[in-house]
């Protein structure tokens, strides 16, 4: 047989092997060998301002525990009591056997907290966006998203049968351009309240004005805004004073609310529709009792202790100013998410490991989490960080920044 024919047959067999791509994925292992792999680092303690990893204490500036509630004794006690009464799981979906009284009570509390008619809880925040967007957007509808919206929003759009349109990040002129070409169809605009990598806030009044002008509905993913923005921590909509005007607000528990899960809040008839058509709700196991009880306790603390939100705001102002004074590029951040933009992936990986050596745990974001050439070290802060913690972090960044020629 012709050797070329044999070779072609061998190549064809290789292409048919689904796992072939796995054998050629070497990037992560190369970083591991170089000691530059910053992912899946094991933490051996609670998500406090100081954590233990590989037996070493480090100041945590890579957590979304904005209000410092994940290890709060009151939150833990509520979770323990829920386990004692209801067990560790619900053994089914909300749709069938998995709705406990505490799910309903939490939904009522979330609706009051968000100042909406109704709320619906999901097992994860990711599932909220998957379920809500795919339930609402049909084949004759259009969903319009910011180019830097969270991956869960993008995936929710992909699961829908509608048309997907994107506009340039926080660019109202470009949003209007998109809306002008959407006449005669149902339209949903979905934006992040706070963008999770850049830390900037959406121009929500601008988006709302255009939504009204072009008869579009508006949904805000406020995962990183609730507990952070607004006088009482109600998020981006409260921050701008337009809570009543926003159709749907999505939130998660894995940030300020000290647990895991998510919710959607809005008009009762819309939430009722979502309850019966969101596949990620209907076909997923119900949020466990401990998680639900923890969220409920966290909401009470937010209402009782507004000083946590005030302290977080003070820390944000301090760290933004300090990083800029050191000479770092931090982008348009206005929140406790403060990115240190380093541009090159390799520098970001090196910087994270050098910071770790200095006793600081920070996160790395490279493409596709951020645009190509915009690699960054993502720092984020808790209301429970002390001034001493913050000064130690700044000293570490100054030392590492000089070593890498960034400042």
The residues assigned a catalytic role are 196, 224, 255
Scan for tokens 């339930």, then name that residue.
135
Q: What is the greatest pairwise CA distance in the chain?
A: 81
Angle between helical axes of 345-357 and 387-403 (0-180°, round to 10): 130
Are 49 and 384 in contact, with CB atoms under 8 Å apart? yes
Reading the block at residue 335, the tokens are 């929140």
Phi/psi at 405 (5° precision):
75, 25
**Tokens 């301002």 appear where?**
49
Cα torsion for 125, 310, 376, 343, to the nearest 10°?
Answer: 130
């Amino acid at each position: 047989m012709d050797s070329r024919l044999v070779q072609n047959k061998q190549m064809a067999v290789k292409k048919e092997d689904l796992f072939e791509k796995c054998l050629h994925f070497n990037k992560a292992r190369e970083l591991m060998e170089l000691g530059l792999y910053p992912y899946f680092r094991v933490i051996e303690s609670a998500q406090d301002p100081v954590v233990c990893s590989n037996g070493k204490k480090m100041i945590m500036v890579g957590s979304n525990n904005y209000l410092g509630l994940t290890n709060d004794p009151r939150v833990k006690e509520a979770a323990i009591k829920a386990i004692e009464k209801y067990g560790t799981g619900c053994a089914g979906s909300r749709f069938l056997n998995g709705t406990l009284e505490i799910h309903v009570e939490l939904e009522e509390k979330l609706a009051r907290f968000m100042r909406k008619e109704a709320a619906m809880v999901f097992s994860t925040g990711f599932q909220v966006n998957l379920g809500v967007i795919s339930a609402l957007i049909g084949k004759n509808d259009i969903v319009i998203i910011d180019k830097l919206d969270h991956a869960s929003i993008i995936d929710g759009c992909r699961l829908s049968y509608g048309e997907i349109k994107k506009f340039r990040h926080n660019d109202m002129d470009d949003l209007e351009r998109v809306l002008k070409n959407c006449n005669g169809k149902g339209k949903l605009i979905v934006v992040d309240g706070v963008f999770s990598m850049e830390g900037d806030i959406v121009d929500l009044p601008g988006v709302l004005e255009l939504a009204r002008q072009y008869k579009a509905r508006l949904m805000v993913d406020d995962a990183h805004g609730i507990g952070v923005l607004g006088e009482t921590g109600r998020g981006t909509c409260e921050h701008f004073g337009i809570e009543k005007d926003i159709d749907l607000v999505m939130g998660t528990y894995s940030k300020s609310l000290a647990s895991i899960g998510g919710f959607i809040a809005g008009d009762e008839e819309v939430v009722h529709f979502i309850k019966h058509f969101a596949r990620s709700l209907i076909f997923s196991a119900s949020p466990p009792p401990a998680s639900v009880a923890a969220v409920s306790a966290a909401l009470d603390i937010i209402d009782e202790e507004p000083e946590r939100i005030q302290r977080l705001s003070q820390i944000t102002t301090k760290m933004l100013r300090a990083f800029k004074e050191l000479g770092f590029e931090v982008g348009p951040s206005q929140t406790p998410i403060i990115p240190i933009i380093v541009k090159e992936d390799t520098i970001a990986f090196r910087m994270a490991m050098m910071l770790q050596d200095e006793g600081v745990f920070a996160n790395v974001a490279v493409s596709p989490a951020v645009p190509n050439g915009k690699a960054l070290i993502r720092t984020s802060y808790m209301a429970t960080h002390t001034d001493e913690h913050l000064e130690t972090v700044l000293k570490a960044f100054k030392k590492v920044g000089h070593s890498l020629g960034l400042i």
